[in-house]
Amino acid sequence: MNFNITKNMKIFIILLTFLVFVGCASNYQWGWYVILPNNKIGLSNIEFLIGGLGYTIILSVISITIAIILGLIVSVASITKNRTLNAINIGYTEIVRAIPVLVMILWVYYGLPVLLNLNFTAFTAGIIALSICESPFIAEIFRSGIQAVPKGQKEAGSSMGMSFFQIFYYITLPQAVRIILPALGNQFVYMLKMSSLVSIIGLNELTRKANELVVSQYRPLEIYTFLVLEYLVLILVVSFLVRRLEKKLRVS
């Protein structure tokens, strides 16, 4: 664990060193004052940029949670012997995976309210779109994890008179979750990055905040560099927590 932390810190330091080196070697007149806390403008801008962190985290957590539930339901359909459910699983997975995330966000925000005669906020539309787009990938992760559980254990449960859902809930699912946890962690990191696309419909998350600040400060390079560092730190923290959880589950 300490090795992973050290490795991530080294990557972070190397990136900062690279940015400083490029800044010194270039003829560009850097304006780091816009994001440095040693002056009033920089401190105000930093507070404004970090203000979008809450939306990014909450949006990603809710979306990945719903996507996991949807993915689990779809994955159950794929492992049954019912041909209709298998066809639904294949159709849903192939169709949704073919739709770009940005297109889905725009369609949910602008198109779905027309069909359902409802008004969606940007936050709600973002959750719906991200959850739908992520669910088929999580379904495939669950399917691979379920298939990795030894068949002998399932047969043992069946011989004890357990139903399909009892075997799935008590025997298959707990073991599958341990197997797929690293992959689910990677998908959560992916969700954090994809949440930046919701800025296009006006949600005030990290990317939207950066875009608004660029318009007023006219310093896109410095501000977007700060945005990159925000996402980098956020994702490193999430990766660390996922690895820690994975280690605890492995020990237990």
Tell the residue number behind the tokens 């998908």, with chain if given. 187
Tell the residue number behind the tokens 């002056």, with chain if given. 39
What is the pLDDT, as a whole number, of residue 83?
83
- Residue 119, C-beta contacts closer than 8 angstroms, at least 6 positions apart: 113
Q: What share of the chain is helix, strand, coil (3-state, %, to 5)?
A: 85, 0, 15
What is the pLDDT, as a whole number, of residue 2?
45
Backbone angles phi, psi at 150, to 5 degrees: -55, 135
- Residue 56, C-beta contacts closer than 8 angstroms, at least 6 positions apart: 192, 195, 196, 205, 206, 234
Distance CA 243, CA 54 (A): 23
Tell the residue number behind the tokens 């990159």, with chain if given. 228
What is the pLDDT, as a whole number, of residue 124?
93
- What pTM, to 2 d.p., does this model score? 0.84
The H or E element that residue 227 is part of is helix 220-251
Give CATH for domain 53-203: 1.10.3720.10
pLDDT tens, position by position, 147-201: 888 887 777 877 787 877 777 777 888 888 888 888 888 899 999 999 999 999 9
Using alpha carbons only, give the angle 210, 214, 215 rounded to the nearest 5 degrees: 120
The answer to whether 142 and 176 have CB atoms below 8 angstroms apart is: yes
Please state the domain extents for the chain. Answer: 1-52+204-252, 53-203
Distance CA 211, CA 228 (A): 13
Q: DSSP secondary structure string, 113-161?
A: HHHHT----HHHHHHHHHHHHHHHHHHHHHHHHHHHS-HHHHHHHHHTT
pLDDT tens, position by position, 70-117: 999 988 887 777 788 888 888 899 999 999 999 999 999 999 888 888
Backbone angles phi, psi at 191, to 5 degrees: -65, -40
- Computed over every residue of the chain, the mean pLDDT equals 84
Distance CA 167, CA 161 (A): 10
% the chain with pLDDT above 70:
87
Amino acid at 82: N
